């Protein structure tokens, strides 16, 4: 049997109204019960509304792919994330979202992956240099480092700025704090309770992050407006230059700040979450790790990584995919029904929250074999290939699929390969991570591994 990494053990039965409030205060994963991982559709009641959870792949496809306009993002999501993301494509709907998406697509074109790869590689090289300072065999908390390197990549590729250590730690701590307040605000909103005392604290944490980004953006906009247009060739330049082919307008300054904050969250926090879990999983699979190392040395050796190498390391790619299956960076998507109708045998009223949960779908007892095991080779079995088609959605699906999916994949494979080539990872057996579900899925008590330099 393969390694079974930790996850909150589900309760035997559905929590009562009061217990659901207490358990959800810290993490929505703590509310789940055994049937959550078996049902195709469930529901739970809150004051004045019923929340529906959809795990049926056929209905997930209808909601996300076939008829997304009938299930826009829920207003609750905007209220939760507005302090950090403003009015960005992560939370907006309708014509506003369509215009924003057209403009962001122009700035975030696939062709830019080749342009940004050298910057990614430089960040990964700096990361291994920092890890070289860790004593061999010492228990090391890896998630702040994964946050540092992914934030550094975003700074260099979007803003053409390097990120220093103190700024990286400030961002890491501010986002941990923001997630804690956002989770509590969500519980209070669902239960129709006052949220002002929580949201005030969340706004302070969000403002720490936004102030770091907005200062850079303001300077760049002034340079651009004064005619300095050829100094940078980054994603922010693409965002400033993009013109909507329908309306012929561009992003305002405030819209630029909101979109960059969104790209920053999507491009560093979600990737950092997946990479931290990847390091933990690798550290508990020494045989697999050795095969990964051999694959990396055979395809790349000791030379610098090149963009073409990404496709030469399928085992690394499988580890990344399996990490996202077990610990999807965003554990649930909240949509809103625009009309009354039936989903399976449930009557869904207009305005009802409809939730699609990658966490539950990726661990569903009927949709995956051995769903709680870490097994990167599962994707090459007939059942695994079928599950991959119908029950795998770490980047969402349909028109609102993550715009940075290719960017995140390239980044993750490069970072994992860089670490495994330089170090042997082993588990710190005295430390077991505690997964919690908030805006992203992180460990409540950090993630520790031991690093040993390779000869």
With a cut of 70, say whether residue 110 has pLDDT above it.
Answer: no
The SS3 of residue 10 is coil
Q: Domain segments of the chain: what residues?
A: 17-453
Read off the pLDDT band of 1 (50, 70, 90).
Answer: low
Q: What's the confidence (pLDDT) of residue 403?
A: 86
Read off the pLDDT of residues 408-454 as tens digits, 9 standing for 90 and up.
999 999 999 999 999 999 999 999 999 999 888 999 999 999 999 99
With a cut of 90, say whether residue 18 has pLDDT above it.
Answer: no
CATH 1.10.1050.10 describes domain 17-453: no
Percent residues over pLDDT 90 in the chain: 62
Mean pLDDT of 278-302: 97
Read off the pLDDT band of 233 (50, 70, 90).
Answer: confident
Q: What's the confidence (pLDDT) of residue 123?
A: 95
Q: How many Å apart are CA 352 and CA 342, to the nearest integer?
A: 12
The SS3 of residue 362 is helix
Read off the pLDDT band of 60 (50, 70, 90).
Answer: very high
With a cut of 90, say whether residue 199 has pLDDT above it.
Answer: no
H-assigned helices in 332-455: 358-362, 382-390, 405-422
Tell which wins on pLDDT, 157 or 363. 363
Q: How far is CA 254 from CA 62, 81, 209, 260, 408, in A?
A: 34, 16, 15, 10, 25
The SS3 of residue 51 is strand
Read off the pLDDT of residues 170-180 as tens digits, 9 standing for 90 and up.
887 888 888 78
Which of the residue ranges 80-94, 182-196, 309-323 would you say has the lowest mean pLDDT? 182-196
Residue 354: is it exposed, middle or buried by C-beta count within 10 angstroms (0-12/13-18/19+)?
buried
Read off the pLDDT of residues 360-418 as tens digits, 9 standing for 90 and up.
999 999 999 999 999 999 999 999 999 999 999 999 999 999 888 888 999 999 999 99
Read off the pLDDT band of 134 (50, 70, 90).
Answer: very high
Q: How many Å apart are CA 280 and CA 427, to the nearest integer?
A: 7
What is the pTM for the complete model shown? 0.92
Gap between the terminal Cα atoms of the chain:
31
Read off the pLDDT band of 76 (50, 70, 90).
Answer: confident
Q: How many Å apart are CA 60 and CA 289, to the nearest integer?
A: 34
Q: DSSP readout, 216-228?
A: HHHHHHHHHHTT-
With a cut of 60, say whether residue 28 has pLDDT above it.
Answer: yes
Q: How many Å apart are CA 172 and CA 276, to the nearest integer?
A: 13
Contacts of 192 (CB under 8 A, 6+ apart): 46, 47, 48
Mean pLDDT of 5-10: 94
> How distant is the alpha carbon of residue 73 from its chain centre?
17
Mean pLDDT of 145-155: 92
Q: What's the confidence (pLDDT) of residue 230?
A: 76
Mean pLDDT of 226-230: 79
Q: What's the confidence (pLDDT) of residue 95?
A: 93
Contact in structure between 138 and 131 (CB atoms under 8 Å) = no
């Amino acid at each position: 049997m393969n390694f079974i990494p930790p996850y909150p053990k589900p309760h035997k039965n559905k929590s009562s109204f009061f217990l659901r409030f207490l358990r959800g205060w810290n993490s929505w994963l703590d509310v789940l019960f055994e049937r959550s991982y078996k049902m195709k559709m469930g529901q739970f009641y809150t004051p004045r509304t019923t929340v529906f959870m959809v795990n049926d792949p056929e209905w997930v496809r209808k909601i996300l792919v076939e008829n997304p306009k009938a299930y826009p993002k829920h207003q609750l999501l905007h209220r939760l994330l507005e302090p950090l993301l403003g009015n960005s494509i992560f939370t907006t709907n309708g014509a506003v979202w369509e215009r924003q998406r057209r403009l962001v697509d122009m700035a975030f074109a696939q062709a830019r992956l080749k342009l940004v790869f050298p910057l990614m590689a430089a960040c990964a090289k700096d990361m291994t240099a920092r890890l070289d300072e860790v004593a061999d065999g010492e228990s090391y908390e890896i998630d702040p480092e994964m946050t540092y390197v992914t934030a550094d990549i975003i700074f260099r590729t979007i803003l053409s700025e390097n990120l220093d250590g103190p700024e990286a730690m400030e961002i890491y701590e501010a986002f941990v704090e923001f997630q804690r307040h956002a989770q509590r605000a969500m519980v209070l909103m669902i239960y129709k309770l006052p949220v002002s005392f929580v949201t005030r604290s969340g706004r302070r944490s969000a403002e720490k992050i936004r102030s770091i980004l907005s200062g850079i953006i303001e300077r760049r906009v002034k340079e651009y407006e004064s005619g300095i247009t050829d100094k940078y060739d980054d994603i922010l330049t693409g965002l400033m230059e993009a013109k909507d082919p329908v309306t012929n307008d561009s992003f305002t300054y405030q819209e630029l700040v909101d979109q960059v904050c969104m790209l920053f969250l999507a491009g560093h926090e979600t990737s950092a979450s997946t990479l931290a879990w990847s390091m933990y999983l690798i550290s508990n699979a020494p045989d697999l790790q050795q095969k990964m190392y051999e694959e990396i040395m055979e395809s790349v050796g000791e030379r610098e990584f090149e963009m073409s190498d990404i496709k030469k390391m399928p085992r690394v790619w499988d580890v990344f995919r399996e990490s996202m299956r077990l610990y999807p960076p965003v554990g649930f998507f909240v949509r809103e029904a625009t009309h009354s109708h039936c989903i399976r045998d449930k009557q869904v009223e207009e305005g009802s929250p409809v939730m699609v949960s990658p966490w539950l779908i990726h661990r569903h007892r009927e949709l995956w074999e051995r769903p709680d095991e870490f097994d990167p080779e599962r994707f090459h079995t007939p059942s695994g290939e079928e599950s991959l088609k119908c029950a795998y959605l770490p980047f969402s699906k349909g028109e609102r699929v993550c715009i940075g999916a290719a960017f995140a994949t390239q980044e993750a494979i490069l970072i994992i390969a860089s670490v495994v080539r330089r170090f042997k990872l082993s588990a710190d057996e005295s430390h077991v991570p505690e997964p919690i579900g908030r805006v992203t899925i992180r460990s409540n008590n950090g993630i520790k591994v031991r690093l040993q330099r390779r000869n």
